[in-house]
Amino acid sequence: MNTIMRDITSGPTPLLENKRILLIVAGGIAAVKVPDLIRRLRERGASVRCILTKGGENFVTPLTLASLSGEKCYQDLFSLTDEAEMGHIRLSREADIILVAPATADIMAKMTAGLADDLATTALLATDKPVMIAPSMNVMMWTHPATQANLQILQTRDVRIVGPGAGDLACGEVGDGRMAEVPEIIAALARFFAKAQNRGPLSGFKALVTSGPTHEPIDPVRYIANRSSGKQGHAIATALNEMGAAVTLVSGPTQEPDPDGVEIIHVETAAQMLKACQSALPADIAVCAAAVADWSVEEAAQKIKKGSNAPALKLASNPDILATLSKPGKTRPALVIGFAAETENLIENAKLKRAKKNADWIVANDVSARTGTFGGDSNTVHLITAEGVENWPTLKKRAVAERLAERIAKFVERHL
């Protein structure tokens, strides 16, 4: 398809238009991302007020936040002018949502304990509005049992969490704890308001998603398979559903729980998966995230007994689900997305796959053993389109799914 795609971080977003966001900036190096976040939110029509903590002042200035937001930057709990008007109450009640970005281990602990020793924590304790946090800290701080226990408590109080991602940290270490990127935070806010309004940018559209491996039987007890866990495909189905799409998920054997609100069809073989996909058409969007086995075996009726010589297996090519769904015709989805799991020449092979399969986009990822992609919780992907290559940072698979869903929503907004 000859389409022109723009950066997902630009352009108006009706879901955020006229929304009032109270942004609390705590003391972490990720605070340097906040100016860009404010600018992007205002581009989408949102208004932003900022509370800057003492720690946050070490990374970004009040003047910067005030200039970009077009509002006063609030800092002092005991400001005579502001507190004459009960400033912390007014700030917390006039917002549609409170966003804490970055959310440090310290402020998360204070939120859990209900402390109120500065303007930020007082506003959080005084609010009756939804709260979302974007955690950011050293990997050891993030994985510490105290932080994880605080996280669980905050989630039970319906505090929304976005991120963190994995990657290089400012301290020089590598791992979880990197604050979600600006597009992930914006997408999370859009999903929140879409859900609150019982609508989403993909409402009225139908999506087909494949996930997991396929199992090709050799005999009644053995099979050929790929090493897919289904985590990425299931996360994509969930993200599309949360954006309002009617989702059919065709899944091979996996330990992942069935996503809520999604029609799911369980299959075992590639042939069964193709049949299920064809039965789910027509669809507006197809995302082929399943790791489909390339070959099948003529199945033996009984278990093959162990002998002195290994049996010869006669392999036959399986149907190509992505290529089949991408064929021009009345039932072809308007947007067909495939995955390229490679161990070498990642970008080159992904580009070749996109052309060969007639897919619109290819999501390429390195699945070498060293990456831990198969079965892991994080993924590093590259989006291949007709316009070029987008290199995404290492993210949780859930965050990858959310970013891809946001990208799909932008396509739908412009072309369908």
Q: Within 13 Å of residue 274, how many CA atoms lie on the same side as its CB?
A: 15
How many residues appear in the chain? 416
Task: Give, as one character, the DSSP assignment of residue 299.
Answer: -
Q: How far apart are CA 319 and CA 21, in angstroms?
A: 49
Contact 49, 34 (CB under 8 A): no
Q: How far apart are CA 242 and CA 160, in angstroms?
A: 14
From 73, 171, 277, 288, active-site residue: 171
Q: What is the DSSP string of 203-229?
A: TT-EEEEEESB-EEEEETTEEEE----
Q: Which amino acid is at 306?
A: K
Q: How far apart are CA 88 and CA 188, in angstroms?
A: 25
Contact 59, 93 (CB under 8 A): no
Q: Which two tokens stand for residue 6?
A: 């723009």
Contacts of 247 (CB under 8 A, 6+ apart): 206, 207, 208, 209, 237, 240, 241, 259, 261, 262, 263
Q: How far apart are CA 380 and CA 372, in angstroms?
A: 10
Q: List the one residue out of 100, 165, 85, 172 whose CA is nearest residue 131.
A: 100
171 part of the active site: yes
Residue written as token pair 């340097």: 32
Q: List the one residue out of 279, 258, 263, 285 whose CA is nearest residue 204.
A: 285
Q: How far apart are CA 80 and CA 77, in angstroms?
A: 9
Q: How far apart are CA 97 and CA 33, in angstroms?
A: 19
Q: What is the DSSP string of 56-104?
A: GGGTS-HHHHHHHHTSPEE--TT-HHHHHTTHHHHHHHH-SEEEEEEE-
Which residues are identified as catalytic?
Answer: 171
